[in-house]
């Protein structure tokens, strides 16, 4: 009887070598495809957030989401919904998004990018809808879950940077203006430490360089007031530069006026400690225009970053 001939060791090694070569050729393409899919989903999430903000604005006289106009100051010691002066100190990034989640404009999952690299940024799966109460006994109203966090060095439930709600930007730009040259939300960036209008040294790499990659430079998706989204590879996108390029406008730095009281595009995540669902919401003193003028506030003091400034 004739014996069946098997593969020789050399033949097996040749086959394994061919497979290894094919894998090495396919892996970069697969990694690129996965990165592209995550970037596309990131753009979709930004677009959905933008649409939700504008849906909100349609019922709020064109104003984009503003927590301080939801939970207002008391009048003669009483909370009256829709009446009273604005609580500017409540206009943090976490509170702003929490208001939209509480009113079912979107869920918490949409706030964390599929490209996220910071282990401290997590979806808030335990958002407490049950605590919402417009008139609880003994304390002020609870319009949103105040435990949503925005601290990149500890816990943060938000990936995206957005326009800080204070100063001239709030009064003139935090509206449904349809301005195609004003960015309102996008991929967060590093702490730059640049002076207004003057670029400084390139910052040390941090996790924001890995969000959309490649790791050697920062890249991001920026969503503008009119709803268009651009992928950019610079801190100074074309839309932000005035005609003739005479003014240097960086997306992460206030380039007009003192402190944070300019009108140019600036985005960041306003640092906020987790609040308490059993008491009045905790805000940020830097946002209180009566205690601290916007011109005295700096990006380094207001925003939270993936690595310390300086």
* pLDDT at 24 (0 to 100): 75
Provide the pLDDT for residue 69.
Answer: 92
Distance between CA atoms of 30 and 1, rounded to whole angstroms? 48
Residue 213: name the closest of 47, 25, 27, 31 by CA.
31
Pairing of strands 220-224, 160-162: unpaired
Calculated CA dihedral for residues 293, 284, 56, 189, nearest 10 degrees? 90
Q: What is the pLDDT of residue 301?
A: 86
pLDDT at site 76: 85
Q: What is the pLDDT along the chain (310 residues), one digit of tens a residue?
A: 555 566 677 778 888 888 888 877 777 766 667 778 889 999 999 999 999 999 999 999 999 999 999 988 888 878 888 888 998 989 999 999 999 999 999 999 999 999 999 999 999 999 999 888 877 666 678 899 989 999 998 899 999 999 999 988 999 999 999 999 999 999 999 988 776 666 666 676 788 988 887 667 889 999 999 999 999 988 888 877 754 444 678 899 888 767 788 888 899 999 986 555 555 566 777 787 777 777 788 888 899 999 887 6
What pLDDT is recorded for position 30?
Answer: 66
33: exposed, middle or buried (C-beta count within 10 Å: 0-12, 13-18, 19+)? exposed
Dist CA 53 CA 56 (whole Å) = 5
State whether residue 185 is helix, strand or coil: strand
Can you tell me the distance from the alpha carbon of 34 to that of 30, in angstroms, rounded to the nearest whole number?
A: 6
Question: Domain segments of the chain: what residues?
Answer: 37-302
pTM attached to this predicted model: 0.86
Q: CA–CA separation, 221 vs 266, rounded Å? A: 14
Omega of the bond leading into 192 within 30 degrees of 0 (cis): no
Q: Mind spelling out the 3-state secondary structure of 69-133?
A: HCCCCCECCECCCCCCCCCHHHCCHHHHHHHHHHCCCCCHHHHCCCCCCCCCECCCCCCCHHHCE
294 class by beta-carbon count within 10 Å (0-12 exposed, 13-18 middle, 19+ buried): buried
In this prediction, residue 38 carries a pLDDT of 87
Dihedral Cα 104, 227, 39, 127, nearest 10 deg:
-20
């Amino acid at each position: 009887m004739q014996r069946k001939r098997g593969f020789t060791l050399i033949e097996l090694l040749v086959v394994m070598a061919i497979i290894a070569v094919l894998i090495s050729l396919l892996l970069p393409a697969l990694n690129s495809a996965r990165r592209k899919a995550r970037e596309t989903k990131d753009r979709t999430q930004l677009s959905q957030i933008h649409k939700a903000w504008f849906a909100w604005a349609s019922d709020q006289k064109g104003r984009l989401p503003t927590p301080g106009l939801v939970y207002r100051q008391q009048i003669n010691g009483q909370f009256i919904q829709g009446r009273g002066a604005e609580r500017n100190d409540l206009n943090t990034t976490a509170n702003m998004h929490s208001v939209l989640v509480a009113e079912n404009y979107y869920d918490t999952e949409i706030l964390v990018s599929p490209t996220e690299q910071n282990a401290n940024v997590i979806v808030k799966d335990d958002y407490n809808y049950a605590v919402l109460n417009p008139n609880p006994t003994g304390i002020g109203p609870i319009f949103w879950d105040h435990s949503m966090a925005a601290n990149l060095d500890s816990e943060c439930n938000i990936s995206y940077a957005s326009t800080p709600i204070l100063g001239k930007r709030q009064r003139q730009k935090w509206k449904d203006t349809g301005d195609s040259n004003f960015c309102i939300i996008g991929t967060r960036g590093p702490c730059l430490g640049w002076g207004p209008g003057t670029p400084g040294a390139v910052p040390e790499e941090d996790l924001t360089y890995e969000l959309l990659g490649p790791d050697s430079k920062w890249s991001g998706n920026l969503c503008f007031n009119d709803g268009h989204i651009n992928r950019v590879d610079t801190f100074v996108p074309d839309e932000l530069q005035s005609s003739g390029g005479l003014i240097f406008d960086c997306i992460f730095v206030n380039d007009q006026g003192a402190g944070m009281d300019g009108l140019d595009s600036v985005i960041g995540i306003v640092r906020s400690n987790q609040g308490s669902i059993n008491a009045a919401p905790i805000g940020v003193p830097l946002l209180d225009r009566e205690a601290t003028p916007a011109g005295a506030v700096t990006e380094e003091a207001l925003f939270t970053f993936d690595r310390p400034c300086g």
